[in-house]
Chain A
Amino acid sequence: MNAALLIILATIVCSAVVGIYAGRRVKMNLENWTVGGRRFGILIIWLLMAGEIYTTFTFLGASGWAYSKGAPTYYILIYGTLAYTLSFFILPELWKLGKRHGLHTQPDFFIRIYGSRFLGVLVAVVGILSIIPYLQLQLAGLGMIVEVSSNGAIPSRLAILLSFGLTCAFVYTSGIRGSAWVSVIKDVMMIVAVVVVGLGVPRIYFGGISNMFRSLISQRPDHLVFPGAAPTMDTLWVMSTVLLTGMGFYMWPHVFGSAFSAKSDKIIKRNAIIMPFYQIPILLVLMVGFSAFLVLPGLKNGDLAFLELVHKTYPSWFLGFIGAAGAVTAMVPASILVLFASTLLAKNVYQAGFNPGASEATVMRLSRAMVLVITTTALVFALLLPNALVNLLLIGYDGVSQFFPGVVLGLFWKRVRREGVLCGLLAGLAIVVVLVFGRHDPFLGMNAGFVALVVNGAVTVGISLFTRPGRHY
């Protein structure tokens, strides 16, 4: 048995054990399972949010874009920072409302603010349809990382089955508490991996980051300014994309929901201040992508740039460490995605949609059962139908971003009406579907999701103003 294999397997199993252990002796009701009893302090909230936000995309996608597209990849540095700035205002208000009314999920919020169960079910369904392909993406990334970094010793399918099966187990037993504890392992391993490779690779091949950029500037300066190697991703595209993704960031049901788990609104506000520091590791990931651009030109799949370069540069046990870090980097976001998809199905589709009289204990039991359903569904798609959900994935971010007007206006504008929010949301979703599937993205040089969001906001405000004043909900 080689060292890489051992490190990967040990990390996956240890993470799962920690995750299961996290829920011991906590009475599991919906409040503890989904929002950790609203007791998380600043450190654990910081680690948890980083845990769910920095996914396999951080490893593979950001470096892959630096490799194959160049400058447009800078957008990843920007949009998180904008999202944290917005969250400074939005999340504390959301937290207070959640505390006062015992909210657990995003549709809970819509039902509470707008008094419309229909709107709640719609938000839940859009959320679940966006989560499933995102979950599948995490699994596919995990399989790819483990297979490459164990040099084929652990085939992709086996890696997916093993690690996702264990993830499902700790979500079932411990809920969000399990995700939070495993985040600690994940964040430490990821930071170590990124710092070692991000500083090491430019040093080994070029003698430092400045020299690496000097070579890049002399050989391919166009790669480093917009639009890089992607003609459709010019400055206007970057501007509209960072606005869209910055606003959409906290609209993902799992990111939105985990804000409720903080101990107080102050904690969540202070957390927003320190979140941008988590962007620095991403810069290091970009360095790896840019180095690979010079060292390993002509890779067919840019997403493999990070792993291929590590493979070429480091001993196999270190590649195993990268594989292990990659595996937990997929497991943590996957666990939170499963947790919230299950709660949305049980609480906001079943209870809100079909059986408002269901007791909390029933919803809790059903949520746990849904963990198995969601897990199985994602596994089926990941293992048997890898391409079936590609279209959904394309519109996932655009889709959840359409919740933004309903959330922000619901918190800060007394004049907003549910008729406006419903029409705005439907208009936004329709535009996303038409533009993206009609191959009109980018539209007039702008991100299609952004165009939809602008229309959505205008419709929401317009119809709210034309609807009778005074609301009874």
Chain B
Amino acid sequence: MRKGTRLALIFATIPFLTLVFALPFVNRIEPVILGLPFVLFWILLWVVLTPAVLWAAYKIEKKHNPPGDEDRR
């Protein structure tokens, strides 16, 4: 696997860590943030941050994977 893709994959674990594996630790109402119960706030926060995470992954992948050396199938 090319280096850029490997780095991008590391970024991509962030939504899985926050939105799946962190759920048992955030399943509560307090503290209420922006009027939302904490668990809903947490989920919403990471849903909205995911485009930023993916955008960073995109930039890093582009930087480390020079065009033209694609592996052919």
- Is B a genuine binding partner of A? yes
Residues of chain A at the chain B interface (Cβ within 8 Å) = 71, 74, 77-78, 81-82, 84-86, 88-89, 97, 100, 208-211, 213-214, 217, 221, 224-226, 235, 238-239, 242-243, 269-270, 272-274, 276-277, 279-280, 283
Interface residues of B in 3-57 (CB under 8 A from A): 5, 8-9, 12, 15-16, 19-21, 23-24, 27-29, 32, 34-37, 39-40, 43-44, 46-48, 50-51, 53-55, 57
With the chains together, A270 CA to B29 CA distance in Å? Answer: 35
**Range of interface residues on B (Cβ < 8 Å):** 20 to 34
With the chains together, A329 CA to B58 CA distance in Å? Answer: 32
Residues of A within 8 A of B35 (CB): 208-211, 213-214
B12 touches A89 (CB 8 A): yes
Partner among A78, A88, A213, A224 whose Cβ is within 8 Å of the Cβ of B54:
A88
B37 touches A84 (CB 8 A): no
Partner among A74, A217, A274 whose Cβ is within 8 Å of the Cβ of B51:
A274
With the chains together, A272 CA to B8 CA distance in Å? Answer: 13
B40 touches A74 (CB 8 A): yes
What is the minimal beta-carbon distance from A426 to any residue of chain B, in angstroms? 26
With the chains together, A243 CA to B47 CA distance in Å? Answer: 15
A88 touches B57 (CB 8 A): yes
Supposing A71-B39, A74-B43, A242-B20 touch, asked if A217 and B32 sit within 8 A by C-beta, the answer is yes
Supposing A74-B43, A78-B19 touch, asked if A273 and B54 sit within 8 A by C-beta, the answer is yes
A277 touches B29 (CB 8 A): no
Supposing A85-B12, A224-B29 touch, asked if A77 and B43 sit within 8 A by C-beta, the answer is yes
Identify 6 residue pairs between A and B in the complex whose beta-carbon atoms are under 8 Å apart, listed by A's number. Answer: A74-B43, A85-B50, A239-B23, A269-B58, A270-B58, A280-B47
Residues of B within 8 A of A221 (CB): 29
Closest A residue to B36 by beta carbon equals: A213
B37 touches A81 (CB 8 A): no
Residues of A within 8 A of B5 (CB): 89
A226 touches B54 (CB 8 A): no
Partner among A78, A89, A209 whose Cβ is within 8 Å of the Cβ of B20:
A78
Residues of B within 8 A of A82 (CB): 15-16, 19-20
Contact code string B51-70 (vs A, CB < 8 Å = 1, else 0): 10111011000000000000
Residues of B within 8 A of A279 (CB): 47
Q: A71-B39, A97-B73, A277-B48 are in contact. List 13 more A-B contacts (CB 8 A).
A: A77-B43, A82-B16, A84-B50, A85-B16, A85-B53, A88-B12, A211-B35, A225-B27, A239-B23, A242-B19, A242-B20, A270-B58, A280-B47
Supposing A77-B43, A78-B47, A88-B57 touch, asked if A235 and B29 sit within 8 A by C-beta, the answer is no
Residues of A within 8 A of B16 (CB): 82, 85
Residues of B within 8 A of A238 (CB): 23
Residues of B within 8 A of A78 (CB): 19-20, 43, 47
With the chains together, A88 CA to B58 CA distance in Å? Answer: 9
Closest A residue to B22 by beta carbon equals: A239
A81 touches B58 (CB 8 A): no
Closest A residue to B14 by beta carbon equals: A85
Residues of B within 8 A of A242 (CB): 19-20
A81 touches B50 (CB 8 A): yes
Residues of A within 8 A of B55 (CB): 273
B54 touches A272 (CB 8 A): yes
Residues of A within 8 A of B50 (CB): 81, 84-85, 276
With the chains together, A78 CA to B43 CA distance in Å? Answer: 7
B32 touches A276 (CB 8 A): no
Residues of A within 8 A of B58 (CB): 88, 269-270, 273
